[in-house]
Amino acid sequence: MTFCHGSVAATTAAILLSIHATCFAETPQSEMASLPRIRVLNSKLIWDAAPHNAFTDLIRWKDRWYCSFREGIAHASYDGKVRILRSEDGKTWESLVQFTEEGHDLRDPKLCVLPDGRLLVGMGDRTQDTKNPLNWRTVTRVSVTADGERWDKRIVGDPQVWMWRFVTHGDYVYSFGYCQRPKGLGGETFLVFYRSRDGLEWERIVQTEAGGGYVNEAAFAFQPDSRCVVLLRREGGQNRLGLSRPPYKDWTWQELNDRFNGPALIQFSDGRLLVGGRAKPIGAGSAKTALAWLSIDPPNLSPALTLPSQHETGYPGLHLFGKELWTSYYSSESGKCSIYIARLDVTYNAK
């Protein structure tokens, strides 16, 4: 099943990048000149079967592409199902598996290759409180497979803590979970950092308030010296940068100059960090799915690219493949929320 979204002209990408830059603090020209240039090679709509298709992730496993996302009636409906697509070439996609639980809302499926080489997909599981429809109960579900056909399924972690993203480093797979509560209730939340050897049995490393406030979605990566770098979403404010070294008991948190919802974070071979997510430029219309370079010292986000997207959009997955960066995301520009795959060229400036 293939849909063509078409190539994106370089002039269009330049205009979009100019618009997106308005939502960042001013970046020095010298710093901008030293950053690699990213441009869109192709953006393709790959799935729009459900009324609402959103919240993606992307990975390459055993020489094939895998894209995960949620299907439902609407953004926050309680009928969410998780689907995983598979592709040999990134052009033609087939449905591999769909996860569903009657009366449950399965959300934000995230993909990860475990230390032993198996594939994991983790997802939030929401059920509505029948006594108070504004409240819900949350658990985390994981499914693990060695062949893509047979899946070992389990509920993991703690009740009301959603393990949102999964990253393998060394002999362990790690996850940040956040305390789930309806946004209308406000108040403080917290993060829990977990680790596991097999993706099925998990242990707590530490619980942190992560600087305070309503903190939730966390994207993270491990540097060569094993320092963990976190891009953290916070409601009512900008993203935070989190840093910690093994054994990851102590964390420092600093404010960044912008906000991405549904954040993704990837590290290049030279150590550069690229983030993605939903951004809304000030005075520039609807939200966009955007990418930015993340600096640790000093903490800063520098605009890189705005993807062809509009209205309801975001929640990208990022994966490096050869000299290209591939990203999954969703957008409603076709008239409904649909799943897209974009291939991006990353060019380093000559010194």
Inside any domain, residue 292: yes
Query: Please, how many CA atoms are within 13 Å of residue 319, restricted to the half-sphere of its CB?
Result: 24
Alpha-carbon distance 149 to 151, whole Å? 7
* Residue 45, beta-bridge partner list: 340
Please state, in angstroms and rounded to a whole number, the distance separating the CA atoms of residues 136 and 131.
10
For residue 149, give the amino acid letter: E
pLDDT at 21: 40
- Domain, as residue range, for 232: 38-347
φ and ψ at residue 48, rounded to 5 degrees: -150, 30
Q: Does 59 map to a domain?
A: yes
How many domains does the chain contain in total? 1
pLDDT for residue 285: 67
Give me the torsion for CA of 25, 241, 222, 339, rounded to 10°: -60
pLDDT score at 89 = 96
In a domain? residue 82 = yes
Residue 221 in domain: yes
Say what the pLDDT of residue 29 is.
43
Contact 75, 55 (CB under 8 A): no
- Residues 104, 140: contact at Cβ < 8 Å? no
| Cα first-last separation, the chain | 44
Provide the pLDDT for residue 339: 98
Structure tokens at 143: 């499914």
| pTM for the model | 0.89
- Report which of 287, 281, 346, 279 is spatially closest to residue 318, judged by C-alpha positions: 346
Reduce the secondary structure of 253-289 to three states and give it as a string: EEECCCCCEEEEEEECCCCCEEEEEEECCCCCCCCEE
Number of residues in the chain: 351
Is residue 190 situated within a structural domain?
A: yes
pLDDT at 13: 40
The answer to whether position 5 is within a domain reads no
Longest alpha-carbon distance in the chain: 64
CATH code for the domain in which residue 230 is found: 2.120.10.10
Any idea which residue has 């198996």 for tokens?
Answer: 118
Q: Cα-atom radius of gyration of the chain, to the nearest Å?
A: 19
The answer as to whether 83 is a domain residue is: yes
Q: Say which DSSP state 23 is in.
A: G
User: Does a structural domain hold residue 304?
Assistant: yes
**pLDDT per residue rounded down to tens, the chain (351 residues):** 333 444 433 333 443 434 344 344 444 444 555 788 999 999 999 999 999 999 999 999 999 999 999 999 999 999 999 999 999 999 999 999 999 999 999 999 999 999 999 999 999 999 988 887 778 899 999 999 999 999 999 999 999 999 999 999 999 999 999 998 755 555 789 999 999 999 999 999 999 999 999 999 999 999 999 999 999 999 888 999 999 999 999 999 999 999 999 999 999 988 999 999 999 765 556 889 999 999 999 999 999 999 999 889 999 999 999 989 999 999 998 899 999 999 999 987 654
> What is the per-residue DSSP string for 109-151?
EEEEE-TTS-EEEEEEEEEE-SS-TT-EEEEEEEEEESSSSSE
Give me the pLDDT at residue 348, please.
78
Q: Which residue has tokens 């619980």?
A: 207
Please count the other Cβ atoms lying within 10 Å of the Cβ belonging to residue 229.
Answer: 18
